Structure 1
């Protein structure tokens, strides 16, 4: 193209001078072809420049002639979209309203044009969908949309995969795992295992014995699921006889029972969690008789003497 003779090239009278610190190009001594001397990475040389041009000079020493050469570096799809972090955790309450949006990490692809980032996809479950907003610079910003109400008791975690794709042929993709932790709300009340507990005990049961243990289950966690027990309804007499363990729900006897004093007691027990929800159960304690009393003879007659001819 420059009209130079191959003899001048072979005599090393011509050489290439790069204007940068790295010598990217060289001259083939036999053919006069311009060759690459180093690997060229467009993304490293021109990260944010659409048109990447390298400039060098061909110098003919004998003639002191200098020719400028411009080499345009075109992009290939040699980079896949990538996320800064491979895994992201989001925390949201189970009472979060459907339609709420949460920003997701965006991907970066240093390639240009169609070879750069083009779209996002979300895979996971029916509770979430993906929305992509356009940023002020035309960039895409993915958002997680809550499509269906959460229930921590149904699923405490949700594992999603966010996929970023470029427009190359074939396309390259990058993925990030999204872990959604569902925070508990006090949306469950304690529930007793039985609506009514019935127990029969002999009157000579030892003091301190456990007569019955009531049990309530709360599906919430932490303070919302911590169940405590208390008497909701009990007579003054029964409160001196029976004791309820607030943590375990065990009803024990405080003093000796006496069938002759009372053969049946009805109590109401309440289970409540840390959020104020509660449930109530009925407890019936029946005292059975044992032979702990001897017969007592009562003489009511005032007659001290009886005539031998009394009818």
Structure 2
């Protein structure tokens, strides 16, 4: 006669990875669209999916993909917006597992989400205004607002066009993060007596098919006598701040000088980042140039910021600099243990290495702060095995004897390697 041992598991673990498959689909596919034949690609019988109670496990992630066990296929469960899911991160992918029981198995699935050209370049403002002295020298620079295109690759912003180009030409500066700083350069002296007001159109164009664009008007008022532009003491400033730093923390201070006197030499500072989160996180004192933290940082979401700061004098001349802010990681997340699958009962005749429970460990911290080790109490006929990163399985370590012990209460303890842990 076979007897069974009743198990009470307080925190559970994970099984061996038997396979992995990847797919690539475009964003914005309609609900119910086919992603792939998972049964065929994994070499499984559709009957195995049904009898094994096959299901999708995505941890804390939102479920965009669903499994049709009858057909053995993966389908779109919810429309996927690549920009909302991944922002400008590439490649963009959804990761999940297919879990089966009797026997326990799981397969890792990666679905890459490719970009389509569904966003046009956009300026934060419909128009900007400059007040420029007619004495401004040829070569004077005027920092312009950048456009933002949420698409990536060739579908994102590629170039700018400035029209008309009688007095000004456009100059682009490639940045390390792939963006372009835009400057308007004076190539022909202004004459207030001929043109007191000048209207230009700055058009941003992407590289998608069909091509999309956005336009901003540049309105210029020509004034007299401001012949020196502000100049920053350095083009790039650097600072660092802990992710748990309080609001108001000073990150760094920028400084520019202007050779003009009195009102024409008075400088004001401003942040020019558009349509991103920089201005929700930082502010610059318009008089002193102090850059302060105004929001809550999270190293796990964003590790560095590039702040574009403009110095502008009363005559409308400008200079620009970059402030690179690195976010310092703190051990502010504890490991989170997730049940994946479990067996509440087991036969005393079960062989050693029989999988009882599968768990998934998640710690969003980085580096040593995110490394997690798990263990169970000793002197029990079970052992905890690490099957892959962040996955564990609880298996039998020796023969079971119901007469000796008919139930076990097993506690799994997990701790990260941060200081303090």
The TM-score, its normalising length taken from structure 1, stands at 0.55
The answer as to 2:98 corresponding to 1:50 is no
- Name the structure 1 match of 2:17: none
The answer as to 2:166 corresponding to 1:113 is no
Distance 1:33 1:138 in 2: 38
- Name the structure 2 match of 1:85: 125
User: Cα 1:138–1:3, aligned 2, differ >3 Å: closer, same or farther?
Assistant: closer
Please say which structure displays the higher CA radius of gyration.
Answer: 1
Distance 1:137 1:55 in 2: 26
**Count of residues in correspondence between the two structures:** 186
> In the alignment, is the contact (CA less than 8 A) between 2:134 and 2:224 conserved in 1?
yes
> Which of the residues 8, 15, 26 maps onto 2:55?
15
User: Cα 1:88–1:51, aligned 2, differ >3 Å: closer, same or farther?
Assistant: same
- Name the structure 2 match of 1:94: 134
> In the alignment, is the contact (CA less than 8 A) between 2:52 and 2:102 conserved in 1?
no
> Which of the residues 76, 88, 104 maps onto 2:144?
104
The TM-score, its normalising length taken from structure 2, stands at 0.41
Once the two structures are superposed, the pairs formed by residues 121-136 of structure 1 within 5 Å of their partners are 121-136=161-176
Q: What are the ranges of 5 or more consecutive residues in structure 1 without an aligned counterpart?
A: 186-311
Q: Which whole-Å deviations, capped at 9, do the CAs of 1:25-60 have from their partners, x for residues lacking one? A: 101243211111111122222223221121111111
Q: What are the ranges of 5 or more consecutive residues in structure 2 without an aligned counterpart?
A: 1-40, 226-421
The answer as to 2:205 corresponding to 1:165 is yes
Distance 2:107 2:61 in 1: 19
SS at match of 1:131: strand
Once the two structures are superposed, the pairs formed by residues 216-255 of structure 1 within 5 Å of their partners are none
Please state how far the C-alpha of 1:2 moved relative to its aligned partner.
Answer: 2.4
How large is the RMSD of aligned CA atoms in angstroms?
A: 2.2
The answer as to 2:100 corresponding to 1:63 is no
Q: Which has the higher contact order (CA 8 A, sep 6+)?
A: 2
Once the two structures are superposed, the pairs formed by residues 204-219 of structure 1 within 5 Å of their partners are none
- Name the structure 1 match of 2:399: none
Distance 1:121 1:3 in 2: 54
Distance 1:85 1:179 in 2: 12
User: Cα 1:138–1:40, aligned 2, differ >3 Å: closer, same or farther?
Assistant: closer
> In the alignment, is the contact (CA less than 8 A) between 2:52 and 2:100 conserved in 1?
no
The answer as to 2:73 corresponding to 1:33 is yes
> Which of the residues 58, 63, 72 maps onto 2:112?
72
- Name the structure 1 match of 2:294: none
> In the alignment, is the contact (CA less than 8 A) between 2:88 and 2:151 conserved in 1?
no
> In the alignment, is the contact (CA less than 8 A) between 1:19 and 1:55 conserved in 2?
no
Please state how far the C-alpha of 1:89 moved relative to its aligned partner.
Answer: 0.7
Please state how far the C-alpha of 1:73 moved relative to its aligned partner.
Answer: 1.3
- Name the structure 2 match of 1:231: none
Please state how far the C-alpha of 1:184 moved relative to its aligned partner.
Answer: 4.1
- Name the structure 2 match of 1:153: 193
> In the alignment, is the contact (CA less than 8 A) between 1:18 and 1:24 conserved in 2?
no
